Chain A
Amino acid sequence: MSRIGRWLDERLGIYGLSRAFLDRKVPGNINWFHTLGSATLILIGVQFLTGIALSMSYVPSPDHAYESVLYIDQTPFGAITRAIHRASAGLLVLLVGLHALRVFVWGAHKYPRELSWVVGALLMFIVMGFAFTGYLLPWDQKAYWATVVGTNIAGSAPFIGGSVLEFLRGGEALGAVGLTRFYGIHVWVLPAALLLLVGAHLFMVIRQGIASSPRRERLIEPEPGESRRDEYQREYAAEKAAGKPFWSSLLKDAVVGLAVVIAVVVIASILGAPLEEPADPNATAYVPRPEWYFLDMYQLLWYITGPLEPLLIFLIFTGGAALFVLVPFIDRGRARHPAKRPAAVAGGLAVVAGVVIFTYMGAISGPSVPVIPATEGMTVTDLSGLAVFNDQGCAACHTVHGLGGTSGPDLSRAGARWSASHIREYIVMPEDDEMPRFDKLTEQQLDDLVTYLKGLE
């Protein structure tokens, strides 16, 4: 022990404490997958560090927010600090999700660690809350409109929606009050909640011990009639008896932690932290588009329509959140190995697949109306028809040769599927409610458009 160490230990008695912490036995099959939690913690540290630095030059006011962000970007190391904060936020969302997935597949949320899961689930919501509130702060077009849409979704909830909306915005409109509220939530409320819950989460991990990786063939078979507690305690004691000291697994955490931080800096250097035009509540041509981690929810809104939409969205979001928090009380059998709980694992993978697919669809179709390019061999009429197609924003809902929206039918083979007269009638007088009537087109425009669509085969 160094002199300083001895000096401190004499007064505080921390040597025994740290030895007990580092030398305690953990299950022997702790592996690389167990580093997801510590990597998450490291990114939280990155967010605190860069966030504090950014707060030194940021002003949460519509008059100055955008300019102060410009100022940050022009100050030495300001742009990279902001880019790291942004890249780290995205990676944090990803890592929290992977960490939760690992715990779920491992069955580590089961007895006696249910509360660790519940706290972890709340932490995931807090991370999403950080992402959502941090978004608005640069006060550019994307920030403003994504928040308008996001808060309107919350505001559409039955009964409480209006109050939630006004609580978030600090009034009916999104303006000066809303920006300071988001700032206050982002830099005070959420960090305080995060620290508290991370503390609880870590306390539980240390107090209960790290869950072993599930074994197909268990170390100890339960005795007939044995209570769950006895079974667990015998098994965990056996895991620890065959285990290794905690310090021996720390190098993996350090390696992954360093890799994650390097990844953040590399992503930040490549992507930077884009800043769009200043927020303009009067823009008409702006197409709001969420950050990638909200694309799945955004895409979901394409499929839920009708008078029950607000109720359905509310039920899906709150129901999904409640389901997520309550996972350990739903998937509660004694078996932990994924092969022995196929239904639970299938359910979990279905959720993951849904998130991935919706995110992907949101990313490719998206809300921005793509412009369908001309192809070789098109006649002049076809080209005029294509121009009408693009002018009318048809590709917002329809796909042509892999480009466009998905809420309407794919028109890549429209000419082969429908007759010219049917296409024409449908444009002017659609049979379903989803498609608007395009009955203000001139005869010439209509002729060209039909010719173009008829030519798609």
Chain B
Amino acid sequence: MDPQARPPQPERDPAAAPEPVSGEAQTDPRSEARSPEPELSRRKFVIRSMTVLGALAAAVVAVPAAAFMSAPGWLSTAPKRLLSHTVSPALRAQEWTSAGPIDRLRLGQPKHMIIERPIVDGWVERDAPVGVYVLRESDTKAVVLDPHCTHLGCPVEFSTGSGSFLCPCHGGAFDPEGYPSGGPPPRRMDVYETRVEDGEVYFRDLLDPEA
């Protein structure tokens, strides 16, 4: 904190220059008894060894800690990014879930439903409500849509007048089947694996949009 020492002026201070081989040795009081070279390399050796050992010690702890912390980033089993998967924890639900009888749905008009499904959210396993849109395409065919914009994941709502899903964030629009009809969405809304059996609609996992 000596005010005279600022600003640093290394060129006026040869002793502080990096690796001053002879100068360094001369400042060492023991250098008169021994030759300067071995003394210097011993100093270097100790400092470098300490650095290496310290780095090793740090790595021993840091590697598992960093690996654990970043595990979710590289553990992914699904290679394709499913944007809406990221929004809805429902993707791990493995069972077929009923979305009710198909004849309660109007042709061509998606119906919003909130259905209880088993979910796994980290260490939490429970039944949780999951929002979907169910579209009746015919008497034997239905499609269950994940109600999130494929642009950035904002919630979309079906507007009956325009017959479109509209996203409030950046003006994205989808037709009743979930295909993009305007704005920034790059692809169809995510779709669940769906089947109709005995007049009842069932859905299971979200389908990979790339498949």
Query: Which residue in B1, B2, B87, B156 is a CB contact (below 8 Å) of A174?
Result: B87
B117-161 interface mask toward A, CB cutoff 8 Å, 1 = contact, 0 = none? 000011110000111000000000000000100001111110111
Residue contact B87 to A24, C-beta cutoff 8 Å:
no
Query: Which residue in A153, A284, A305, A369 is a CB contact (below 8 Å) of B183?
Result: A305
Q: Flag whether A172 is at the interface (Cβ < 8 A).
A: yes
Q: Which residues of A contact B2 (CB under 8 A)?
A: 20
* 9 A–B contacts from the bound complex (CB under 8 Å): A21-B1, A145-B154, A170-B72, A176-B122, A307-B186, A367-B168, A392-B161, A396-B171, A407-B170
Which A-chain residue is minimally distant from B156 (CB atoms)?
A284
Q: Flag whether A173 is at the interface (Cβ < 8 A).
A: yes
In the complex with contacts A62-B121, A396-B168, A434-B154 CB distance below 8 A: no
Residue contact A440 to B161, C-beta cutoff 8 Å:
yes
B118 to chain A, nearest CB (A): 14
Residue contact A162 to B81, C-beta cutoff 8 Å:
yes
Query: Which residue in A282, A287, A388 is a CB contact (below 8 Å) of B114?
Result: A282
Q: Flag whether B207 is at the interface (Cβ < 8 A).
A: no
| Chain A residues bordering chain B, tally (CB within 8 A) | 80
A59-102 interface mask toward B, CB cutoff 8 Å, 1 = contact, 0 = none? 00011000000000000000000000000000000000000000
**Interface residue ranges of A373-419 to B (CB < 8 Å):** 388, 391-393, 396-397, 405, 407-408
Q: Which residues of A contact B87 (CB under 8 A)?
A: 148, 152, 173-174, 281
Residue contact B76 to A172, C-beta cutoff 8 Å:
yes
Query: Which residue in A21, A171, A283, A307 is a CB contact (below 8 Å) of B155?
Result: A283
Q: Which residues of B contact A302 (CB under 8 A)?
A: 170-171
Q: Flag whether A257 is at the interface (Cβ < 8 A).
A: no
Query: Which residue in A145, A163, A405, A435 is a CB contact (below 8 Å) of B182?
Result: A435
Query: In the complex, A407 Cα to B172 Cα: how many Å?
Result: 11
Q: Flag whether A430 is at the interface (Cβ < 8 A).
A: yes
Residue contact B7 to A162, C-beta cutoff 8 Å:
no
Query: Which residue in B76, B83, B183 is a CB contact (below 8 Å) of A166?
Result: B76
* Residues of B near any A CB (own CB < 8 A): 1-3, 6-9, 11, 70, 72-76, 78, 81-83, 85-89, 91, 112, 114, 121-124, 129-131, 147, 152-157, 159-164, 166, 168-171, 173, 181-184, 186
Q: Which residues of A contact B173 (CB under 8 A)?
A: 436
Query: Which residue in B3, B72, B130, B155 is a CB contact (below 8 Å) of A284?
Result: B155
Q: Flag whether A439 is at the interface (Cβ < 8 A).
A: yes
In the complex with contacts A284-B131, A367-B170, A436-B161 CB distance below 8 A: no
Q: Which residues of B contact A301 (CB under 8 A)?
A: 152, 170, 184
B78 to chain A, nearest CB (A): 7
Query: In the complex, A457 Cα to B98 Cα: how many Å?
Result: 52
Query: In the complex, A63 Cα to B114 Cα: how many Å?
Result: 20
Q: Which residues of A contact B73 (CB under 8 A)?
A: 163-164, 166-167
Residue contact A149 to B154, C-beta cutoff 8 Å:
yes
Which 7 A-B residue pairings sit nearest by Cβ, starting from the closest?
A440-B163, A282-B131, A436-B173, A436-B182, A167-B73, A175-B121, A177-B122
B79 to chain A, nearest CB (A): 8
Residue contact B131 to A172, C-beta cutoff 8 Å:
no
Query: In the complex, A445 Cα to B55 Cα: how many Å?
Result: 72
A287 to chain B, nearest CB (A): 4
Query: In the complex, A301 Cα to B154 Cα: how many Å?
Result: 13
A200 to chain B, nearest CB (A): 16
Residue contact B183 to A436, C-beta cutoff 8 Å:
yes
Which A-chain residue is minimally distant from B74 (CB atoms)?
A163
Q: Flag whether A110 is at the interface (Cβ < 8 A).
A: no
Query: In the complex, A437 Cα to B159 Cα: how many Å?
Result: 12
Q: Flag whether A7 is at the interface (Cβ < 8 A).
A: no
Q: Which residues of B contact A318 (CB under 8 A)?
A: none
Which A-chain residue is minimally distant from B164 (CB atoms)?
A436
In the complex with contacts A62-B121, A152-B153, A209-B81 CB distance below 8 A: no
Given contacts A281-B131, A436-B183, 13 further A-B contacts (CB under 8 A): A151-B86, A152-B87, A167-B73, A172-B78, A174-B87, A282-B114, A284-B155, A309-B186, A367-B169, A436-B164, A437-B164, A438-B161, A439-B163
Residue contact A167 to B121, C-beta cutoff 8 Å:
no
Which A-chain residue is minimally distant from B9 (CB atoms)?
A233
Query: In the complex, A66 Cα to B159 Cα: how many Å?
Result: 31
Residue contact A173 to B88, C-beta cutoff 8 Å:
yes
Query: In the complex, A166 Cα to B73 Cα: how many Å?
Result: 5
A13 to chain B, nearest CB (A): 11
Residue contact B164 to A438, C-beta cutoff 8 Å:
yes
A178 to chain B, nearest CB (A): 8
In the complex with contacts A282-B114, A392-B159, A434-B182, A170-B3 CB distance below 8 A: no
Q: Flag whether A288 is at the interface (Cβ < 8 A).
A: yes
Q: Which residues of B contact A436 (CB under 8 A)?
A: 162, 164, 166, 173, 181-183
Question: Which of A20, A208, A436 counts the most chain B CB atoms within 10 A?
Answer: A436
A144 to chain B, nearest CB (A): 10
Query: In the complex, A161 Cα to B163 Cα: how many Å?
Result: 33
B77 to chain A, nearest CB (A): 10
Which A-chain residue is minimally distant from B82 (CB atoms)?
A172
Q: Flag whether A336 is at the interface (Cβ < 8 A).
A: no
Query: In the complex, A208 Cα to B115 Cα: how many Å?
Result: 64
Which B-chain residue is minimally distant from A156 (CB atoms)?
B152
In the complex with contacts A173-B91, A282-B131, A436-B181, A155-B72 CB distance below 8 A: no
Query: In the complex, A277 Cα to B152 Cα: how many Å?
Result: 21
Which A-chain residue is minimally distant from B171 (CB atoms)?
A397
Which B-chain residue is minimally distant from A178 (CB atoms)?
B122
**Interface residue ranges of A2-34 to B (CB < 8 Å):** 16-17, 20-21, 23-25
Query: Which residue in A17, A25, A282 is a CB contact (below 8 Å) of B1?
Result: A17
Query: In the complex, A50 Cα to B8 Cα: how many Å?
Result: 39
Q: Which residues of B contact A23 (CB under 8 A)?
A: 3
Query: In the complex, A393 Cα to B158 Cα: how many Å?
Result: 11
Residue contact B147 to A284, C-beta cutoff 8 Å:
yes
